[in-house]
Amino acid sequence: MTHPAIQQIAHRLIVVSSVCTASYGRLSFWDVTRYCTKVPSRLVLIYFYGDRFPDDRPCPRDEAEWRELIRACHLTLGLPEHHKLSDRMHEVFLPALVK
């Protein structure tokens, strides 16, 4: 049986990995699209809290937990706090409407 602390760390790494993969894909697609089309655009990232991921893992409970994951993701990707796209990116944090 795995120790609960190790399970929590593994869960955290899986969540950070999932968030990083999705974030990198969105940023890459948006940047390439902007470059190819020459159309000015903005990226709005919507994060829901208080829900569950499709694999039944809990989502972050609030904006602060999401920001912690986003910060870890940016560190993992080597993305600085301010970069060429940061003034055109916006983050929105909303509670999930859970049944």
Query: Domain tally for the chain?
Result: 1
Q: What average pLDDT does the chain have?
A: 77
H helical segments located in 1-62: 4-37
Q: Which whole number is the average pLDDT over 20-45?
A: 79
Q: How confident is the model at residue 25 (pLDDT cuts 50, 70, 90)?
A: confident
- The residue segments making up the domain with residue 26 are 4-95
Q: Are 68 and 80 in contact (CB under 8 A)?
A: no
Q: What is the pLDDT of residues 65-82, one digit of tens each?
A: 999 888 888 888 787 888
Identify the burial level of 83 via C-beta atoms within 10 angstroms of its C-beta, where 0-12 means exposed, 13-18 middle and 19 or more buried.
exposed
89 three-class SS? strand
Rounded to two decimals, what is the model's pTM? 0.69
Q: What letter represents residue 89's amino acid?
A: M
pLDDT of 21 reads 64
